[in-house]
Amino acid sequence: MGLRIGLGLVVAALSASAVGASPGPDRFREANGLARAGDYPKAIALYGEIAASGTESASLYWNWAQAARARGASGEALWALLRARELDPADSAVLRDLEKVREAANLDPAEIAPQPLAAIARFGRRFRLDLAIVGLLALSLLAHALSRLAGGDRRLAGTAGATSALALVLVSLAVLGSLGRPSGVVVLRNAPLLDAASPTAEAVGALREGEVVPILEASGDYVRIEDSSGARGWALSTDVRRLDAPPGG
């Protein structure tokens, strides 16, 4: 696996320009170089700095995941791949590696996608429903205007009505997707589930590494979550990383 990861990082380094504007590509190449040299902690730290600066991409998180896997941090690797999927739901390399990491962690597919509405949101991003909605509305307006100019042509009026109805369906999907709760991934093995958002809080349980959990609320450096057993409590945001924002976002 180490050889495959190393080769993958070499390939990714050659395409570092996909990350964003300077100085992003230079720092991305530096991080990949650290990973190829086996300095995974420094590579991951630099990937995190790049992401926190706002220079995000699926490629960045894919490389982050490879470094995390090489380090044995399966939860962090899963989080990075899920974050990459959030940014580019159609990236085949991300989806392929996500499945590998899920299987290696003995997680069911449902355990990494507990929020159905989040899947709708990803569907919308993958197929650019925002552009489809604008296009359909424009087509509806054009068909309606042409129908009036043609003295109420029924075919044009039907086209206007059909495109308006389809646009309404897509708008409804977009609204549903926006209603989903934010999720996070447990990136630390046996991360403590706490009874309060406080440094003096007591642990009431332990979380499973790699589990995707809904985030109910946030307070400072803590997030309130619910695990797959239904237990609720607080966890450090460094132990349960959000999927709807970059690290530190």
Which among 86-90, 155-159, 240-244 has the top mean pLDDT?
Answer: 240-244
Q: What is the DSSP letter of 239?
A: T
CATH number at residue 80: 1.25.40.10
Question: pLDDT tens-digit profile of 29-39?
Answer: 999 999 999 99
Question: pLDDT tens-digit profile of 121-150?
Answer: 656 666 677 788 888 888 888 887 887 887
Phi–psi pair at 58, nearest 5 degrees: -60, -35
Q: Do 37 and 61 fall within a single domain?
A: yes
Looking at residue 132, its pLDDT comes to 80
Q: Do 148 and 195 fall within a single domain?
A: no
Domain membership of residue 247 (yes or no) is no
Q: What is the DSSP letter of 86?
A: H
Query: For residue 225, which amino acid is it?
Result: I
Assign 204 to helix, strand or coil: strand
Q: Do 223 and 237 fall within a single domain?
A: yes
Q: Do 158 and 198 fall within a single domain?
A: no
Q: Do 89 and 169 fall within a single domain?
A: no
Q: Distance (Å, rounded) from C-alpha 31 to C-alpha 28?
A: 5
Domain membership of residue 114 (yes or no) is no
Tokens of 179: 């209603």
Q: Do 7 and 102 fall within a single domain?
A: yes
Domain membership of residue 222 (yes or no) is yes
| 73 touches 83 (CB < 8 A) | no
Q: Do 142 and 99 fall within a single domain?
A: no
Domain membership of residue 112 (yes or no) is no
> Among 34, 111, 121, which residue's Cα sits nearest to residue 85?
121
Q: Do 168 and 82 fall within a single domain?
A: no
Domain membership of residue 117 (yes or no) is no
Question: pLDDT tens-digit profile of 237-249?
Answer: 999 999 888 886 5
Q: Which of 162, 178, 194 lies at the terminal end of a domain, its last residue?
A: 178
Residue 193 structural domain: 183-242
Question: pLDDT tens-digit profile of 12-58?
Answer: 443 433 333 334 689 999 999 999 999 999 999 999 999 988 889 99
CATH number at residue 233: 2.30.30.40
Q: Distance (Å, rounded) from C-alpha 249 to C-alpha 245?
A: 5
Domain membership of residue 116 (yes or no) is no
Domain membership of residue 118 (yes or no) is no
- Which distant-in-sequence residues (6+ apart) come within 8 Å of 2 by Cβ? 70
pTM here is 0.70
| 214 touches 222 (CB < 8 A) | no
Structural domains of the chain, count? 3
Q: Do 228 and 143 fall within a single domain?
A: no
Q: Distance (Å, rounded) from C-alpha 206 to C-alpha 190?
A: 5
Q: Which of 76, 106, 136 lies at the terminal end of a domain, its last residue?
A: 106
Question: How many other CB atoms are found less than 10 A from the CB of residue 225?
Answer: 24
> Among 49, 79, 63, 78, which residue's Cα sits nearest to residue 16?
63
Q: Do 7 and 58 fall within a single domain?
A: yes
Q: Do 18 and 54 fall within a single domain?
A: yes
Q: What is the DSSP letter of 201?
A: P
Q: Do 194 and 234 fall within a single domain?
A: yes
Looking at residue 19, its pLDDT comes to 36
Domain membership of residue 111 (yes or no) is no
Assign 33 to helix, strand or coil: helix
Q: Distance (Å, rounded) from C-alpha 159 to C-alpha 36?
A: 57
